[in-house]
Structure 1
Amino acid sequence: MANSKYEYVKSFEVEDEIMFPNLIVVRIGDRHFQRFSEVHEFEKPNDEKALKLMSLCATLVLQEYPDIVFSFGFSDEYSFVFKQTTKFYQRRASKVVSIIVSFFTSVYVTKWKEFFPEKELKYPPSFHARPIVCASLEVLQEYLAWRQQHCHITNQYNTCLWELVKSGKTEKEALEILKGTQKQERNELLFQHFGINYRTLPQMFRQGTCVLRTEVEDIVKYSENGTPIKRMRRDTTTVHSKSIAGRSFWNEHQSLLKELGGFTKDVGKINSDYIRSFLFESKLMASTWIVIRIDGCHFHRFSEVHDFEKPNDEQALNLMNSCAVAVLQEFPDVVFSYGVSDEYSFVLKKDSQFCQRKASNIVSIMVSFFTSMYVMNWKAFLPQKELKYCPAFDGRAVCYPSTEILQDYLAWRQVDCHINNQYNTCFWMLVKSGKSKSEAQRTLKGTQAQEKKELLAWFGIDDYNALPVMFRQGSSVFRDGMAPNENGAASKNRCYKVIIEHCNIIEQSFWEEHPGILG
């Protein structure tokens, strides 16, 4: 981080650590799933390919993040359970939730064609996510039983609904027929009118899908006399069970017993009100500017694997910018964004009620959408490069009480952009000249801005300010022509074009030239 007079803005960041001994569950759901399934013509009431795609995403999440030991999902949702002792990203809720939903989204987009080769992904899917804090193993057991019960009830209802529609009823008529019906009545309707024994429907539809860790035996080599030498290897497995919260299922899996503990009794009647008491969500302070900052996860490795140009890859930066433009086009409450390298900050208007200002919803949706766009736009900006693995981003929300402090935050990010870019330009010039990375770091240790300018001049870069402005000042994305009306607010009836500029946002002149951005 750059040392500057603006660094005080970091004091507005709030810790959101989930304390021990609480168990951490991250629940992911598809945003606007009904519309997404209709646009992409999913089979009703269940699309097996879509469910298998979700299951693959869950499987790869477990393979990517060893601290997750169990997941359960159905329809458009998945719950991921972390081991009891996890210290994943210091148990910071925003980091944990955003990384998981981002990677899940990345896999979903990347693997889409494997399951739907004949269907184009017509727009970027996005997911919302939230942390579920379980105070004990008993609460987790109740939670899992509740989700599986919801799976059963929802599937039974939807099966009835779509059988009625397929028989000639309108959707409105079908809903009226099902209004107030109970489980037994729906079973009878399916059997008597459509010849369907509900219990014979695929387990995946009725019971949902579990993904959990297991160990398999591999032959790693053979001894001189031909005897196989075996080793145990961690793997994942997908299973279906009618009672995932029952002792008979849970206690037969050693990975669950080891990392979470065993259930001592079976769940009786599910008390949904009791479970909901653990589903509280923090809301961001009213009448404050909300900034959602998104950063690439392990971006240094990602850029090396994908052979990005050093110190700056123009096309990779343009890809990030395209994602930021899409965010402003998708979310009207986002009024400005600023990005550099692998990060972007999005400013939501002060009176925004997006997601009722629920922090986890806002962060997860925006990170998920940004990730989706990044994967979908990859080929447009880097056509010669194969996306070798699924990228992921993390996010956090910070509130700033005044416009002045918000502007100082943005100034801090631009100062950081300048200092980091100057350092990285020097660093990679040294490396390209033959020095090792360690030698380059030692050469630059403790150097000031003027010394770096002199070093660059030695490499033939006499004027640092002549380097591309995007590298030096980052990218600002906002709606063009936003001017306040007589009430001081931007008109809601005007159409705006989202533009990208590379300019000085530290000076007040930028904000004076664009008074409608922050109102």
Structure 2
Amino acid sequence: MLRRKSFVFHRNCQLFERRSSKLVSTIVSTFTAYYVHKWPEFFPSMPLEPCCLPTFDGRAVQYPSVRNLRDYMSWRQVDCHINNLYNTTFWNMVLKGGMSNTDAEQELKGTVSSDKNEILFSRFGINYNNEPEMFKKGSVLYRDFELQPIERHQAHQQLSKPREDEGYTEDGEEPSQVSKTQREKQKKLQRKADIAIAYVDIIKDEFWEQRPWILSNRAGKLRGS
């Protein structure tokens, strides 16, 4: 079973002196360890067997701009939806429809989203739109600060050309004039922030408009402060 995870580091990140091999090996090994550790909590009736333990691979990719990064994340969310719709349809055909894996795979070959939605609804009474957002959109984890209301007519301008006096440049890069004291203050605020998990649309601008700190690497206002 395939599990895709993406970990995003800001372009100014200096962790492990930016050595890609060190970043990848540490992230993959840490993620795998926690995945195995948490397995019994989520699958108590399915103990892991030595013959088929979870394993993961990884690679580091550099994106030249914020727009490129957003395009990548959007593609990942679309991919999540496509895979989940296929798997939901496939396993209903097998488990509820009594089809073999081969027959179900053959029938789904060449189908589009509307075909799969029709199979789910007509045969199994399932409206895919009512499926949990967690499975359709995936899980998004981020540092959680107070959401920022942004006027619609300002949204495109603020996303495409962030103001340097707000602490970052057009591509989301921290200006060189930011002092060491300011950087340390930002790091402290980031460490204090909770980690939120959400099942939301990250393709549209709204998610990023309300959470400008994600792309700017500039801490927002702590909730309740």
Which residue of structure 2 aligns with residue 368 of structure 1?
29
- Partner Cα separation in structure 1 for residue 94 and residue 215 of structure 2: 42
- Partner Cα separation in structure 2 for residue 460 and residue 435 of structure 1: 13
How far the C-alpha of 1:487 sits from its partner, in A, is 2.2
- Name which of 73, 84, 89 aligns with 1:426: 89
* 1:363–1:396 CA contact under 8 A, matched in 2: yes
Local SS of the residue matching 2:28: helix
How far the C-alpha of 1:461 sits from its partner, in A, is 3.6
- The question of 1:352 aligning with 2:13 is answered yes
Calculate the aligned-residue CA RMSD, in Å.
2.1
Structure 1 unaligned segments of length 5 or more: list them: 1-299, 301-340
Identity %: 43
Local SS of the residue matching 2:61: strand
Q: Which has the higher helix share?
A: 2
Which residue of structure 2 aligns with residue 500 of structure 1?
197
- The question of 1:416 aligning with 2:96 is answered no
Q: Which amino acid aligns with 1:436?
A: S
Which residue of structure 2 aligns with residue 509 of structure 1?
206
- The question of 1:407 aligning with 2:70 is answered yes
How far the C-alpha of 1:517 sits from its partner, in A, is 0.7
- Partner Cα separation in structure 2 for residue 367 and residue 359 of structure 1: 12
Which residue of structure 2 aligns with residue 28 of structure 1?
none
How far the C-alpha of 1:482 sits from its partner, in A, is 7.0
Local SS of the residue matching 2:59: strand
Which residue of structure 1 aligns with residue 177 of structure 2?
none
- Partner Cα separation in structure 2 for residue 503 and residue 347 of structure 1: 17
1:299-378 mapped onto 2 (5 Å cutoff): 300=1, 342-378=3-39
- The question of 1:477 aligning with 2:141 is answered yes
Which residue of structure 1 aligns with residue 179 of structure 2?
none
* 1:482–1:496 CA contact under 8 A, matched in 2: no
Q: Which amino acid aligns with 1:512?
A: E
How far the C-alpha of 1:483 sits from its partner, in A, is 7.7
- Partner Cα separation in structure 2 for residue 449 and residue 476 of structure 1: 23
Cα deviation digits, residues 339-386 of structure 1 (max 9, x gap): xx6111000011111111111111001111111111222223223332
Greater relative contact order: 1 or 2 (C-alpha under 8 angstroms, separation 6 or more)?
2
Which residue of structure 1 aligns with residue 101 of structure 2?
437
- Name which of 122, 134, 138 aligns with 1:458: 122
Specify whether residues 446 and 478 from structure 1 end up closer, same or farther in structure 2 by C-alpha distance, changes over 3 A only: same
Q: Which amino acid aligns with 1:492?
A: K
1:235-314 mapped onto 2 (5 Å cutoff): 300=1
Local SS of the residue matching 1:395: coil
Local SS of the residue matching 1:422: helix
* 2:92–2:124 CA contact under 8 A, matched in 1: no
Q: Which amino acid aligns with 1:493?
A: K
Local SS of the residue matching 1:384: coil
- Partner Cα separation in structure 1 for residue 56 and residue 25 of structure 2: 10
Cα deviation digits, residues 125-176 of structure 1 (max 9, x gap): xxxxxxxxxxxxxxxxxxxxxxxxxxxxxxxxxxxxxxxxxxxxxxxxxxxx
Local SS of the residue matching 2:8: strand
- The question of 1:487 aligning with 2:150 is answered no
- Partner Cα separation in structure 2 for residue 380 and residue 453 of structure 1: 32
Specify whether residues 352 and 392 from structure 1 end up closer, same or farther in structure 2 by C-alpha distance, changes over 3 A only: same
Local SS of the residue matching 2:7: strand
* 1:483–1:516 CA contact under 8 A, matched in 2: no
- Partner Cα separation in structure 1 for residue 215 and residue 147 of structure 2: 10
- Partner Cα separation in structure 1 for residue 142 and residue 55 of structure 2: 24
- Partner Cα separation in structure 2 for residue 457 and residue 486 of structure 1: 49
- Partner Cα separation in structure 2 for residue 483 and residue 405 of structure 1: 24
- State the 4+ residue runs in structure 1 displaced beyond 3 angstroms: 482-486
How far the C-alpha of 1:452 sits from its partner, in A, is 1.2
Q: Which amino acid aligns with 1:500?
A: I
1:139-178 mapped onto 2 (5 Å cutoff): none
Q: Scaled by the length of structure 1, what TM-score is found?
A: 0.33
Specify whether residues 422 and 357 from structure 1 end up closer, same or farther in structure 2 by C-alpha distance, changes over 3 A only: same
- The question of 1:386 aligning with 2:83 is answered no
Specify whether residues 404 and 475 from structure 1 end up closer, same or farther in structure 2 by C-alpha distance, changes over 3 A only: same
* 2:139–2:198 CA contact under 8 A, matched in 1: yes
Local SS of the residue matching 2:60: strand
Q: Which has the higher strand share?
A: 1
- Partner Cα separation in structure 2 for residue 426 and residue 376 of structure 1: 30
Q: Scaled by the length of structure 2, what TM-score is found?
A: 0.74
How far the C-alpha of 1:462 sits from its partner, in A, is 4.7
- The question of 1:397 aligning with 2:60 is answered yes
Aligned length: 180
Which residue of structure 2 aligns with residue 446 of structure 1?
110
Q: Which amino acid aligns with 2:34?
A: M
* 1:482–1:515 CA contact under 8 A, matched in 2: no
